[in-house]
Amino acid sequence: MLSPPVEGILPAQADTLLSISGFGNFRYQARGLTQTLELIGESQQLERTINGRLIDLSVPSFRKYKTTISVSDEVEFPPLDGVYPGMEITVDCALYLCYPNGRAGSPSRDEVSGSSYTENGFTFYRPQLVMRVSTFQSRLDEWKRQIGWSLEAEEI
């Protein structure tokens, strides 16, 4: 498994790779952070011809991502009062995408500044995505004093 260089993996003054801007000063300690990145449903339009051959009828402008970010075992509530569906945010992803080095290779999204590195003929980078919130949820385990939240968003 490839991994980013150990030195400088976290941005200065940060407790996590993930950064979300668009709803105030979003500072927190993210323990138990998970992030998924997948294609939106509208990006896929595969059909079979009368001969059974699978063809792609997708429209390239629908090649967008959606993400689910979940955090558990937090010690303080995140400043997410007023977060609502449709709100525009910028997500500096915690996860990496990669592309082949050379003439044919280039990132499909903007890179989080300072996040890229190369290894075994590929460049790895953390994408920066402009998105809209689709759902938000927070939770509390009172007895353990564990706070968690999740946010889903889709690329604009």
Say if 103 falls within a structural domain: no
Q: What is the number of structural domains in the chain?
A: 1
Domain that holds residue 79: 19-93+128-155
Say if 66 falls within a structural domain: yes
Say if 60 falls within a structural domain: yes
Q: What is the CATH number of the domain that holds 132?
A: 2.40.30
Other CB atoms within 10 A of residue 129 CB = 22
Reduce the DSSP state of residue 22 to 3 states and report it: coil
What is the radius of gyration, based on Cα positions, of the chain?
Answer: 18
Say if 47 falls within a structural domain: yes
Backbone angles phi, psi at 60, to 5 degrees: -55, -30
Say if 69 falls within a structural domain: yes
Contacts for 85 with CB less than 8 Å, ≥ 6 apart: 132, 133, 134, 135, 136
* Contact predicate 95/35, CB 8 Å: yes
Say if 53 falls within a structural domain: yes
Each residue's pLDDT expressed in tens, for the chain with a length of 156 residues: 455 554 445 555 556 788 888 876 565 556 678 999 999 999 999 999 999 999 999 999 999 999 999 988 666 667 777 889 999 999 999 999 999 998 777 899 999 998 999 999 999 999 999 999 999 998 888 887 788 889 999 999
Q: Is 4 left (phi over 0), alpha (psi -120 to 50) or beta?
A: beta
CA separation for the pair 122, 120 (Å, rounded): 6
* pTM for the predicted model, two decimal places: 0.82
Say if 115 falls within a structural domain: no
Say if 30 falls within a structural domain: yes
CA separation for the pair 108, 129 (Å, rounded): 11
